[in-house]
Amino acid sequence: MFKEFVAVNLSHQPPYELWEGRLISHAEQVARVANIHDALKRHNPESIVYPEDFQQVPLEVLKQVHLPEYVDYLLSLREKCSEDYWLASSFGYGGGIRRPTEEHGLLGYYSMDSYTPVNNKTTEAALIAASGAYSAALSLEAGNRAAYAVVRPPGHHSGKRNMGGYCYLNNTAIAAHTLSQQGRVGILDVDYHHGNGTFDIFEQNQKQGEAQAVYPISIHADPGRKFPYRSGYEDQAGNDHFKYKNYPLGEGVTDEEYNRVLLKALQDLADYNPDFLVVSMGFDTYGGDPIADFALTTSYYRQMAKEIMDLKLKTLFVQEGGYEIEAIGDNALSLVKGIKEGLK
Ligand code: SP5
Ligand code: ZN
């Protein structure tokens, strides 16, 4: 069985982001997931689950994945903020920094960039997205072979104690952490950007000395030239206690070039021999994406899904980026066709 968990989250609509010194209209728009939803609804409406039927992600789970004080901070924004969006301008980085009391300082303390605005509705939207990923994970535990959490805001740049890159709660990490209670979990991040938040969360959690329960692999644009500009280099592969893998790529990557790298990443995952696979799924690798520069085609997402499903694991796809709203419905439909072919 295959289910799609869809949350368009109409109330979260950040109007702008601060990019290279200018306010530009925000790339992470409602229309992204609304257009995916329209395409999936035309194709197969009976496989869709909506927020009213999601299991709410428990606070306890959020606080195992993220730092509890960061979760409490996000929850407090529901009262602290108005409908006007805030953007941080002084960021929390480096060692020895202390938690400020002033509100804009505090927002920056928990944020990594000027791309991730908050208002009084943002936390609610992030909770619904996280609950979609959580519910999809539970559906795999209940016996589904595959699921697709079509949610926004995305999650993979949100780390142990930070928002960033349009992300507030790490939907992929919440799903992977949940599944890791039942078995070993591989994570494959195929968004155009490095999944720095996901890597950070599991690296921090593994420092407690537990056995490694997840193995993250990311294929993405070279972080020397593209966001998140800080991690995702090939020689970053973890240590004896926590292993992971990075496949950074140059610009203009074609379907054939991408697929060669994908097959390597899938072999790494097969060697780890997980029980579950969580895929951070971005369509910002598409040739027409306005903020990225790979050259993948719509039909490739079908092949990508088939290659992934060939691992024969219980597999959850979680929506991350993808900003070409005209093509995003067709790209998601192509992916879903590949997933369904892979069920056989
Ligand atoms: C989840 C996800 O894909 N987050 C990506 C965040 C990257 N933000 C970088 C913003 C770059 C904005 N570029 C605007 C180009 C306008 N021509
Ligand atoms: Zn991305």
pLDDT of residue 207: 84
- Is residue 282 in contact with ligand 1, taking CB distance under 6 Å? yes
- Is residue 286 in contact with ligand 1, taking CB distance under 6 Å? no
Ligand nearest to the CA of 164: 1
pLDDT tens digit string along 73-85? 999 999 999 999 9
| Three-state SS at 286 | strand
For 94, left (φ over 0), alpha (ψ -120 to 50), or beta? left
Instruction: State the Cα angle at 104 between 12 and 168, rounded to 5°.
Output: 35
* Nearest residue to 177 (alpha-carbon basis) of 193, 198, 191: 198
Residue nearest to atom 13 of ligand 1 (CA): 291
Ligand nearest to the CA of 23: 1
Task: Give the end-to-end CA distance of the chain in Å, rounded to a whole number.
Answer: 10
Residue range 321-343: mean pLDDT, rounded: 98
Using CA atoms, how far apart are residues 274 and 145, in angstroms rounded to an integer? 14
- Is residue 229 in contact with ligand 1, taking CB distance under 6 Å? no
pLDDT tens digit string along 94-146? 778 899 999 999 999 999 999 999 999 999 999 999 999 999 999 999 999 99
**Cα–chain center distance at 233:** 19
Residue nearest to atom 4 of ligand 1 (CA): 165
Return the structure tokens found at 73. Answer: 């901070």
pLDDT tens digit string along 209-240? 677 899 999 999 999 999 999 999 999 999 98
Q: 292 — phi, psi (to 5°)?
A: -140, 175
pLDDT tens digit string along 158-212? 999 999 999 999 999 999 999 999 999 999 999 999 999 999 999 999 987 677 8
Q: 142 — phi, psi (to 5°)?
A: -80, 0
pLDDT tier at 152, thresholds 50, 70, 90: very high
- Is residue 227 in contact with ligand 1, taking CB distance under 6 Å? yes
Residue 221, C-beta contacts closer than 8 angstroms, at least 6 positions apart:
192, 193, 194, 248, 249, 250, 251, 292, 293, 294
Residue 253, C-beta contacts closer than 8 angstroms, at least 6 positions apart:
285, 294, 295, 296
- Ligand 1: nearest atom to the Cα of 164: 6
Specify the DSSP element, H or E, that contains 4.
strand 2-7
Q: Is the pLDDT of residue 67 over 80?
A: yes
- Is residue 34 in contact with ligand 1, taking CB distance under 6 Å? no
Q: How many CB atoms lie within 10 A of CB 68?
A: 13
Q: How many A from CA of 343 to the centre of ligand 1?
A: 33
- Ligand 1: nearest atom to the Cα of 167: 1
Would you say 182 and 210 are in contact if contact means Cβ atoms under 8 Å apart? no
Using CA atoms, how far apart are residues 326 and 290, in angstroms rounded to an integer? 11
Which residues does the annotation mark as catalytic?
157
User: Dihedral through CA 305, CA 306, CA 310, CA 314, nearest 10?
Assistant: 40
Residue nearest to atom 15 of ligand 1 (CA): 291
pLDDT of residue 93: 75
